[in-house]
């Protein structure tokens, strides 16, 4: 069965990674992997026109509100990655409110408010809200699950690298958000199958660390005197 014929996102990903490993990660195997993955992603997006329209409208609004060219590039990258992963919605054909809040959080660095004093606390509030809404409404999907992980990695790494002067805190942010994502990806490529997603306590930093970074960011921007 061709990878593009598989409807389950995990089965399709496992099949892709298996083919990549079977090809010993040679350039030809990598090119085939990327071509098949892109074909399936676009097919899955076309099967979900409502979700595609929602993504485009949301990112269009974010693009219009983005600050400077760098912010617009950030939003464009977010739209592209989101569209390519619409297959992770699985049985759903549209985004839920929780997904929208997660994507807004992921794009805070692109917005003027992203560098403001309240940006860290805003990210925390959005994180809590999207999780509760997803559980209450029963709209938890692999798309939302992984979008939440990458939203955390994108926002908190950006906030720390861009605004946190303490070297230890900056190193901790890389270790807490970037390394787990890289490790999970590398493990999947090496094994030829998608690894089980680590529990939140392992994949995401402790809430206390997020609160600490948010409060430090707020305090640095408070008026003195």
The model's pTM = 0.82
Q: Where are the domains of the chain?
A: 1-47, 49-220
Phi, psi of 117 (to 5 degrees): -65, -25
pLDDT in tens, the chain (225 residues): 444 444 566 677 777 777 777 887 788 888 887 888 788 888 888 899 999 999 999 999 999 999 888 899 999 999 999 998 898 898 899 999 999 999 999 999 999 888 788 999 999 999 999 989 999 998 888 899 889 988 988 999 899 988 888 888 888 877 777 777 777 777 777 777 766 655 544 445 557 788 888 888 888 877 665
Name the H helices within the chain.
9-22, 27-46, 49-65, 68-84, 97-106, 119-137, 142-163, 167-173, 179-191, 200-203, 207-220
**Tokens at 169, concatenated:** 């805190």
């Amino acid at each position: 069965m061709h990878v593009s014929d598989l409807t389950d996102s995990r089965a399709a990903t496992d099949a892709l990674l298996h083919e990549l490993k079977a090809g010993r990660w040679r350039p030809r195997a990598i090119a085939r992997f990327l071509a098949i993955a892109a074909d399936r992603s676009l097919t899955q997006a076309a099967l979900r026109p409502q979700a595609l329209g929602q993504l485009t409208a949301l990112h269009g609004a974010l693009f219009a509100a983005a600050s400077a060219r760098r912010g617009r590039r950030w939003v464009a990258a977010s739209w592209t990655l989101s569209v390519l992963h619409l297959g992770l919605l699985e049985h759903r054909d549209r985004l839920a409110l929780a997904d929208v809040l997660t994507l807004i959080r992921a794009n805070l660095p692109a917005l003027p408010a992203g560098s403001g004093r309240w940006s860290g606390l805003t990210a925390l509030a959005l994180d809590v809200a999207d999780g509760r809404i997803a559980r209450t409404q029963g709209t938890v999907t692999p798309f939302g699950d992984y979008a939440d992980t990458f939203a955390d990695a994108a926002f908190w790494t950006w906030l720390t690298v861009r605004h946190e002067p303490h070297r230890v805190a900056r190193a901790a942010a890389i270790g807490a958000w970037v390394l787990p994502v890289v490790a999970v990806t590398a493990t999947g490529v090496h094994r030829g199958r998608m690894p089980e997603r680590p529990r939140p306590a392992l994949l995401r930093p402790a809430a206390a660390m997020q609160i600490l970074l948010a409060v430090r960011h707020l305090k640095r921007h408070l008026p003195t005197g």
